[in-house]
Amino acid sequence: MRDQAKAGTRSVGGQVRTDTVWHQQQFSVGFEYPVVFTSGLFAPENPVLVDVLCRLEKTRQHRCIVFVDEGVLAARPTLPAEIDAYARHHSERIALVVEPVAVPGGEKIKIELHFVEAMQRKLFDHRIDRHSYVIAIGGGAMLDAVGLVAATTHRGIRHIRIPTTVLSQNDSGVGVKNGVNLYEQKNFVGTFAPPFAVLNDLDFIEALSPRDKISGMAEAVKVALIRDREFFEWLERNADDLVTFKRPAMATMIRRCAELHMRQIAKGGDPFETGSARPLDFGHWAAHRLETLTKYHLRHGEAVAIGIALDTRYSVLAGLLDAKAEERVRFLLDHLGFRLWHAALEKQMPNGRHAVLEGLREFREHLGGELTITLLSDIGVGVEVHEMDKAKVLQSIAWLKERAAG
């Protein structure tokens, strides 16, 4: 408690009240979690997982439940056996309470809320307590749903994320947010809950479809554009290696992008986004809306690439950004294999309004407060604005259409 209780406070209206006691309760909690980049995570001789489990209690046998994304399982059917062999090899420290549990991957797990309840039921059935571990192996969507389960069951169970897509390794998995979709709104229900640890294994990326390998690169372009010109230029120079998924280039792209996201969370001053800004969400107001409008046929990263192209064009129209810089952004996104147009950009609502524009309202409402959109004033330099001119947004959409046709 910072202040002594103050009796008889005077309100803004000036009236003195003697029946009001105002305590200013205050404390702060530090957060710390390892983010590890490795390969062969479940090779018995790899100590990373067991070291992480023993981070707080060195000598205990730790009870774990593992959820695995079905998409990962389809690509790597031997995974449950590998996990089982790892746990047996380290049986003094790890006890799997049940065989790895398969759950749907992709947006399906975030849309159909019964999956959340089914996972909670598993935690109940297997007596998972606050000192046990919920381990999630999967893409960003699955991690978001399991993260919510871990954060809300018993008001928070230790949660280890093992991201398996480019996007979840370079962005979503290393952060502090989870959530599921409701009422056709992305992440309407969710919490801010830092994980216990994040373990990125590059081997998982090899099994990923080319579409998902490319999709996740949108977040690297995004964060480079608003934070790190040098990284953008690195992406330009290495685009050939990235489109052919060369391992060293993929590893560097993922790590650099993850580090920039981590730095924003740790040093940006607002890890739990209590202000009105969403500093890392460049291109996202349109992206989230496009994901919903296309009923998730567009991947998050694909929608983000379109959102980036849109807001970059808007930045030019608003007089903030040089058209030559925009050319470079478009060229890089094209080169990486993104299609920078989707017919949903033109979708109209029954009242004749452009459906995508609703994204601005949803974006503002998600945080509350003033609308805050990040635009570009240069490559590597994001700027915040609090208003978007609808005519210029529509002009930007028309421009994207024209360029896609040409």
Report if residue 382 touches ligand NAD, rule: CB under 6 A.
Answer: no
Report if residue 135 touches ligand NAD, rule: CB under 6 A.
Answer: no
Least separation in angstroms between CB 198 and ligand NAD: 12
d(CA 16, CA 6): 12
Element (H, E) at 197: strand 197-201
Report if residue 300 touches ligand NAD, rule: CB under 6 A.
Answer: yes
> Would the CA dihedral through 272, 277, 283, 287 be positive or negative?
positive
Site for ligand NAD in 210-239 (CB under 6 A): 212, 215-216
Least separation in angstroms between CB 306 and ligand NAD: 15
Least separation in angstroms between CB 74 and ligand NAD: 7
DSSP H stretches of helix in 216-299: 217-227, 229-237, 239-243, 247-267, 284-293
Element (H, E) at 290: helix 284-293
For residue 19, the SS3 value is coil
Q: What is the maximum span of the chain, computed from C-alpha positions, in angstroms?
A: 73
Report if residue 105 touches ligand NAD, rule: CB under 6 A.
Answer: yes
For the chain, how many residues are written?
Answer: 406
**Binding-site string for ligand NAD from residue 47 to residue 86, where x marks contact by CB under 6 A and - marks none:** ----------------------xxxx--x-----------
Binding segment for ligand NAD (CB under 6 A), chosen from 171-179, 358-366, 367-375, 377-385, is 171-179
Element (H, E) at 373: strand 373-378
| 95 beta partners | 63
Q: Are strands 133-138 and 101-103 parallel, antiparallel or unpaired?
A: unpaired
Site for ligand NAD in 109-128 (CB under 6 A): 110
Report if residue 106 touches ligand NAD, rule: CB under 6 A.
Answer: yes
Report if residue 264 touches ligand NAD, rule: CB under 6 A.
Answer: no
Q: Which of 36, 54, 102, 207 binds ligand NAD (CB under 6 A)?
A: 207
For residue 68, the SS3 value is strand
Binding stretches for ligand NAD (CB under 6 A)? 69-72, 75, 105-107, 110, 138-142, 144, 164-165, 167-168, 171-172, 175, 177-178, 186, 204, 207-208, 212, 215-216, 299-301
